[in-house]
Chains A and B, each alone.
Chain A
Amino acid sequence: MIADASFLKSLFCGIIPESMAFPFPGPSRAEAEETLAILDTLKRFMRTVYEPQRGSLDSPISQEILTEAGSLGLFGLSLPRAYGGRQLSPTSFARILQELGALDPSLALIVRAHQTLGAHPLVRHGTVGQKARWLAKMASGQALAGYALTEESAGSDAAGVRTYARSEGTNWVLDGKKIWVTNGPIASVFTVFARTSPVEEGIKPKLTAFVIDRDDGIITNAGINMHGVRGVQVGTLLLENVHLDASRVLGTVGQGFMIAVETLNHARLASASAASGSARQLLDLSIRYARERAAFGRAIGDFGLIKDKIASMLSEVFALESMVFLTTGMLDGAGSDCSIESAACKVFGSEVLQRVAEGAGAIAAGRGFASGHAVERGLRDARHHLVLDGTNEVLRAFIALSGMQAPGRDLANVVKAMREPIKGFGLLGEFAVRKAKSALGRERLTRVHPLLNREVVLFEDYVSDLAKNAEKMLRRHGVAIAEMQYSQRRVADLAIDLYALAAVLSRTSRAIERRGEEGARREVDLACIFAASAEKRMAANVAGFDKNDDEQRKNAAARAYQDGAYPFELF
């Protein structure tokens, strides 16, 4: 009865699949030890090789450094062992990315884009021949991999892809232009998505993924001068009359859209992992600064409003970390579907990092406003998480609509069943039982430590609210729900907060079990702080389903579009 073996999708149906999130997952002793050994090596590498050569963290990371990082093994961390990679578990990989995100967000992006975007399609869909040809080079870092999906007319909307692969016998000829290719200027292999059906108005294109070497005739430009993560080179890719034989098709012809989406799902968790590390780093800086910087005769950390910021940052970083490592733990085990969990991590992670960076900016005040200061760079670097791997706006729609598919499917079946009452009896019965259940009481969360009873009640209440409102929205709007972005946002934000809360409760319960109430005092405090702030957001979102100014806002924007600008002059 677990919807597609996804924790979060189940919550949409009002079901709490407790065993998926409790106890809080963690690596085995041996794996933890190995990961710590890798982290130790990584820190030594950063101190002795990386930092002396790196120069300004706002300059592009040099080829020499990338070569060193490659021989260390950073580019093969998650790639298969058979091709020279380390094949780390999702949890260990996330832990390393977290550290990289703390040490240099640019390096973290280069490393994760290479593995989770560029190489991942090949890992998942490559033939043995294709893997042998490219994966070993990718794992050693000898060949960086790029992922080329976005175009001028196609960003989050993959259906707008114009790059066209024309079939010529068994061969293909590609023409088109890709933009925003991370590592584009330095990568030598690219996974390129092209339509293999001609452009026809109103018809979704068939996309196909191709593996293309730089030598095949790809032209890349020198890269875009970016606002943040300036160590990374991101550029455009020109394909002009690029001839490829059939061995370059990844998966099957027409499978490209699925490959693109699946890869992005994978990449989003990596984004959140790195973001959690960057957030920790900025938090640490803020704690140090609050203790050291004096004003009015005492450390600024003594003041209530600084303490308030530090407490918020702590609880959010704690929640983010818990959420990421709950998700990787689910992936370590039996293959759960974590597509919307990963999207939730990405949205939450990028926004927590944004808030933490702003908090750090507020604490560092004038100093953090100076160009090149760690906090100033942190603020700029943080933004890439909001934009890359699918904008947060699109991901909210994705979370809400994918999540509501499960209740939606049930509803559709129920309608069908009502037409044929006898055949559909079982289904109706099940639906009725669940309705009765949600009317009589909540689905229970039983494995949380009793110290957190208040938070458990909160969680259960809002899970039931999520399910009720998801169903209500589906009944109210039917298929038009796809257009109801305000409702989607409320549904998605509820789901994200609930997922974060589940992760926090699970991790805190584990801490209490291991170290007792006193030993887990810090976790308990942060769990309560996080739950209280999540409660405010969730209450507002639930109330907003029925009482809101959505229409006014739409109208205001529509009039502004007509006006073409801000419409007033005071005098």
Chain B
Amino acid sequence: MKILVPLKRVADPDNANKVKVTAGKLDTTGMQWKPNPFDEYAVETALRLTENGASTKVRLGEVIVLTVGPKEAETQLRGALATGADRAIRIDATDDDLDGDVVARAIRAVVEKEKPDLILVGKQAVDGDSNQVGQLLAEYLGWPQATFAGTIKSEGDTALLVGREVDGGTLTLRVTLPAVVSVDLRIVAPTSVSSKHSPTHTYADGVRFAALMAIMAAKKKPMVEFKLSELVSDAAAKIAYTTHELPPPRKAGIKVKDVAELVDKLRNEARVV
């Protein structure tokens, strides 16, 4: 099975308090970048679906990671290569010129070249939280889609049984490949992903990390670059950001003397009781 995983770099959530806004624009200089966690889950899912039983050397299929972004975003692609993806594609673009729609159309162009059997995406990126790319992509391709996957069972690599995380439980869909599937947090639980050729061991919870030797070997894996304009004729974004601002700093709380005062404030100031 050939799987394409689009992957976005996001500001490191652990260092997010260092984000600066200058004149209504996000200032990304000196920011630390990480792969979007949900995209990492998608990579992990792809690796589990292409596992070749107990053999760790050769995959049953191919995992291609793709990003749309500047040269520096190759760091995140190489990270995915180190954990086991086979090759990488970067579509050169600056972050400011993108929205979910341009990204989806750019990926569609790559899909038409690569013809993967499955596209696995994170359900959303933790920076913009747009939750659009997977859905738009499925629509543009005219492919079936299953969003918010918490479990995936491959049926002979021609269809997938996808357990979707929905309110109050799990909704199970059978999607015929090729398809677009977006994954949620629980997809990286130890037994969430299975196929006929899954290894016998259970996985550790979470995504795998690269052995140190693999980090070096990843440098030798293929990485190709496309220009955004080579792939989409109309590269204009449909969403324009008018301004950015940081959330206002929290005001200091107040101390109340007793319950009576608390109730009074809740009733007359906060007006919640």
Contact = CB atoms under 8 A, between A and B. Distances in A.
Contacts of A154: none
Nearest to B72: A33
Contacts of B205: 48
Interface string B204-221: 111001111101100100
B210 A37 contact: yes
A29 B82 CA distance: 18
B209 A44 contact: yes
B75 interface: yes
Nearest to A140: B213
A36 B34 CA distance: 11
B154 to A, nearest CB: 25
Contacts of B215: 34, 37-38, 41
B8 interface: no
B204 A48 contact: yes
Given A48-B204, A48-B206, A49-B204, A40 B212 contact: no
B44 to A, nearest CB: 12
Given A33-B75, A37-B78, A37-B82, A86 B204 contact: no
B209 A41 contact: yes
A73 B211 contact: yes
A77 B75 contact: no
B218 to A, nearest CB: 8
A225 interface: no
Contacts of B212: 38, 41, 72-74, 76-77, 86
Q: Which of A30, A41, A48, A86 has the most CB of B within 10 A?
A: A41
Interface string A12-45: 0000000000000000001001101110110011
Contacts of B100: none
A73 B212 CA distance: 5
B43 to A, nearest CB: 14
Nearest to B205: A48
B69 interface: no
Interface residues of A, number: 20
B79 interface: yes
B82 A71 contact: no
Interface in B157-216: 204-206, 209-213, 215-216
Nearest to B210: A41
A40 B211 contact: no
Categorize the interface residue count of chain B.
10 to 19
Nearest to A44: B209
- Interface of B (DSSP majority class): helix
Contacts of A45: 209
Interface string A55-88: 0000000000000000111101100000010100
Contacts of A73: 211-213
Q: Which of A36, A37, A86 has the most CB of B within 10 A?
A: A37
Contacts of B206: 48
A30 B82 CA distance: 15
Contacts of B204: 48-49
A72 B211 CA distance: 5
A36 B215 CA distance: 10
Interface in A454-474: none
Contacts of A41: 82, 209-212, 215
Contacts of B210: 37, 41
B211 A71 contact: yes
Contacts of B219: 30, 34
A97 to B, nearest CB: 14
Contacts of B82: 37, 41
Nearest to A84: B213
Interface in A290-336: none
A452 B190 CA distance: 56
Nearest to B215: A37
Contacts of A84: 213
A86 B216 contact: yes
B71 to A, nearest CB: 11
A76 B215 CA distance: 14
A262 B210 CA distance: 34
A45 B216 CA distance: 17
A33 B206 CA distance: 24
B79 A37 contact: yes
B158 to A, nearest CB: 34
Interface string B61-96: 000000000000001001100100000000000000
B131 to A, nearest CB: 26
Nearest to A41: B209
Contacts of A86: 212-213, 216
A475 to B, nearest CB: 53
Contacts of A49: 204
A65 to B, nearest CB: 14
B219 to A, nearest CB: 8
B28 to A, nearest CB: 16
A48 B205 CA distance: 8
Nearest to A73: B212
B90 to A, nearest CB: 15
Contacts of B79: 37, 40
A54 to B, nearest CB: 16
Nearest to A86: B212
Contacts of A40: 79, 209
Q: Which of B205, B211, B213 has the most CB of A within 10 A?
A: B213
A469 to B, nearest CB: 44
B211 A34 contact: no
Q: Which of B75, B204, B210, B211 has the most CB of A within 10 A?
A: B210
A532 B184 CA distance: 55
A30 B216 CA distance: 11
A37 B209 CA distance: 10
Q: Which 10 A-B pairs have the closest CB atoms?
A: A73-B212, A44-B209, A41-B209, A37-B215, A41-B210, A73-B211, A86-B212, A73-B213, A38-B212, A33-B75
Interface of B: 75, 78-79, 82, 204-206, 209-213, 215-216, 219
Given A41-B212, A72-B212, 4 more contacts: A40-B79, A40-B209, A48-B204, A74-B212
19 contacts: A30-B219, A33-B78, A34-B215, A37-B75, A37-B78, A38-B212, A38-B215, A40-B79, A40-B209, A41-B211, A41-B215, A44-B209, A48-B205, A48-B206, A49-B204, A72-B212, A73-B211, A73-B213, A76-B212
